[in-house]
Amino acid sequence: MRVWLLAWLMIVLGLPTVQAAEDRPKEILLVSEHWPGHTNADGSGLAWEIMRQVFEPAGVKMNLRIEPYTRALGLVQRGEADAWLGSYRDEVKDRTFYPRHPYDADRIVALGLSSRPPARLAELGRYRLAWMRGYGYQQYLPGVGRYQEVQRSGDILAMLERGHADFYIDASTEVAAILEGHTGTERFRITALTRLPLYPGFADTERGRALAALYDRRMAVLVNNGSLRPLFRRWRQPYPFDQDMERPDASP
């Protein structure tokens, strides 16, 4: 009788887990802006590979789309996509849900003229700053005062040369892409500022929260067992989960 009762309890207690697995979405649609080496249009890139390791071993098929950043966000807010990549923690609070674990970190830098003194993180409020539309760096950088949002990356170098802004703020990979192929790049200086963890932002729906919970469980496992380290090595990016790299204010 005691053995039968124990078996019955195990079955009953196991039902919620079985039910949760059955209710889990079988696929996920991730959207992102095209960032070379991070989210390539052909499905390659560090971020896409991380997401595959998160979701596909758990039985969730990954679908992806490349969209401009603000459109990617809008698709998630309207429930037309499950999550977008490249967001900073709580960057967007309307109809979105953030998991606990980041998947990477941006090295944030300031691009300015080499003829000017370099930017200093503690003195950003003194400068006229610029960044791409929708990036919201004013939420994460200290003392930001004057800033403008840029529509096209092709305008940035001319904007700095004409004195319309003191510094352009972006991730180091984006700044490198802006300078690539341009002559006279010696006229510009890149100054490291800080690191900001990157998150997928999920739709604030029952489906989105279920996918976010799965993401958090899988990321915890992958970070703990070191499975993601070879991906960062392959894409020649610093590994963000070592203890001294996890803080948002860690040096780039």
Q: CA neighbours within 13 Å on the CB side: how many for 139?
A: 11
Is residue 112 assigned to a domain?
A: yes
Is residue 1 assigned to a domain?
A: no
Is residue 7 assigned to a domain?
A: no
Together in a domain, 100 and 202: yes
pLDDT on residue 19: 42
Together in a domain, 99 and 204: yes
CB 248 within 8 A of CB 195: yes
Residue 126 maps to which CATH number?
3.40.190.10
The string of pLDDT tens digits covering residues 152-190 is 888 899 999 999 999 999 999 899 989 998 888 999 999
The string of pLDDT tens digits covering residues 114-142 is 999 999 999 999 999 999 988 889 999 99
Torsion sign over Cα 94, 206, 44, 31: negative
Question: What is the number of structural domains in the chain?
Answer: 2
Is residue 240 assigned to a domain?
A: yes
Q: Which of 180, 195, 210 is the last residue of a domain?
A: 195
Range of the domain at 132: 106-195
pTM comes to: 0.80
Residues of the chain above pLDDT 90, percent: 77
**Which of 215, 194, 84, 71 minimizes the C-alpha distance to 139?**
194
Together in a domain, 110 and 190: yes
Supply φ then ψ for residue 245, to 5 degrees: -110, -5
Is residue 15 assigned to a domain?
A: no
Q: At a CB cut-off of 8 Å and minimum separation 6, what does 220 contact?
A: 101
User: Which residues sit opposite 110 in a β-bridge?
Assistant: 169, 191
